[in-house]
């Protein structure tokens, strides 16, 4: 496919495209299906793979996650979520969503609920509620050193709302801005919160208050995770059962992946049915180390 043929694919946001595109003005590369605003064509560069884009100095988009391998159904639902978030200022009809996804209304709702545990309408209401409250939220953030690498913690007046680990402070701050784009971020003192996170890394326990934002299903899964004793694990199927929806195994895994409060909401304690680690948004090495410490 020539570059001239690739640009219309980007404009149509095709989900099955086998390339990524990068934007010179932002230094970020995306999937063609990314719902972000389309750049000027003269600022776009195309690559056959995420590895090529990163070798050229571009960073992965925090919205469409082009460096991650995502199954087709998961990618579709992810695109639908980004579409709803980008249009949170209005009510998006199911017919419009079905047209965007290229699905019937029945299959749209069936695939969405299987992936996330909630209907498209429920997800849209959660997004609108979250975005209506976050603009007034002042989020204080800071960095700390940990056995898991460079750490970031962010908190509102209600409690810790984000914990992450990464290679450096700039990458972590970019992650935070992508996670809570409507909040007012300010650097501040986080010594006490960092101490609680370090204690949780060492002991598996913490009593610090959290400010948890998510769908009703996600919050059920996160609550089930917090009820797992240190040193123990649960399968995604067991978490789904504890949330009252035994069939929503895949949605339970997606909820774990959506958790933005590492360690304090212990999604590292969730495993596949066969006992393998499954996924972890902060890397399998971090998940493995957390489990090793708790089991010790």
Active-site positions read 30, 267
Choose among 247, 267, 272, 283: nearest CA to 115: 247
Q: Each residue of 79-93: b (16+ CB within 10 Å) or e?
A: bbbbbbbebbeeebe
* 3-class DSSP string for the chain: CCHHHHHHHHHHCCCCCCCEEEECCCCEEECCCCCCCCCCHHHEEEECCHHHHHHCCCEECCCCCCCCCCCHHHHHHHHHHHHHHHCCCCCCCHHHHHHHHCCCHHHHHHHHHHHHCCCHHHHHHHHHHHHHHHHHCEEEEEEEEECCEEEEEEEECCEEEEEEEECCHHHHHHHHHHHCCCCEEEECCCHHHHHHHHHHHHHCCCCCCECCCCCHHHHHHHHHHHCCCCCCCEEHHHHHHHCCCCCCHHHHHHHHHHCCECCCCCHHHEECCCCCCCCCCCCHHHHHHHHHHHHC
Task: Report in angstroms the alpha-carbon separations of 235 from 228, 276, 277.
Answer: 11, 10, 10
């Amino acid at each position: 496919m020539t570059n001239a043929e690739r640009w219309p694919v980007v404009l149509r946001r095709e989900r099955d495209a086998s390339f990524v595109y990068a934007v010179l003005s932002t230094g970020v590369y995306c999937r063609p299906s990314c719902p972000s605003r389309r750049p000027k064509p003269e600022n776009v560069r195309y690559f056959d793979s995420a590895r090529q884009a990163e070798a050229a100095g571009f960073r992965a988009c925090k919205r469409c996650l082009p460096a991650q391998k995502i199954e087709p159904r998961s990618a579709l639902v992810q695109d639908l979520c980004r579409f709803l978030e980008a249009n949170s200022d209005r009510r998006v009809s199911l017919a419009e969503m079905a047209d965007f996804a290229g699905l019937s209304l029945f299959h749209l709702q069936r695939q969405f609920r299987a992936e996330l545990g909630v209907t498209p309408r429920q997800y849209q209401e959660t997004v609108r509620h979250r975005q209506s409250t976050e603009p007034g939220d002042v989020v204080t953030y800071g960095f700390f050193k940990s056995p898991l690498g460079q750490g970031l913690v962010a908190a509102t007046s209600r409690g810790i709302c984000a914990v992450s680990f990464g290679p450096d402070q700039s990458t972590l701050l970019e992650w935070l801005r992508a996670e809570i784009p409507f909040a007012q971020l300010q650097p501040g003192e986080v010594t006490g919160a960092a101490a609680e996170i370090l204690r949780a890394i060492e002991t598996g326990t913490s009593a610090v208050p959290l400010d948890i934002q998510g769908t009703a299903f996600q919050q059920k899964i996160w609550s089930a995770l917090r009820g797992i004793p240190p040193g123990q694990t649960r399968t995604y199927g067991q978490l789904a059962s504890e949330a009252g929806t035994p069939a929503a195994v895949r949605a339970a895994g997606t909820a774990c992946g959506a958790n933005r409060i590492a360690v304090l909401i212990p999604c590292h304690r969730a495993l596949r049915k066969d006992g393998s680690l499954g996924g972890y948004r902060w890397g399998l090495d971090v998940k493995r180390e957390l489990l090793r410490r708790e089991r010790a």
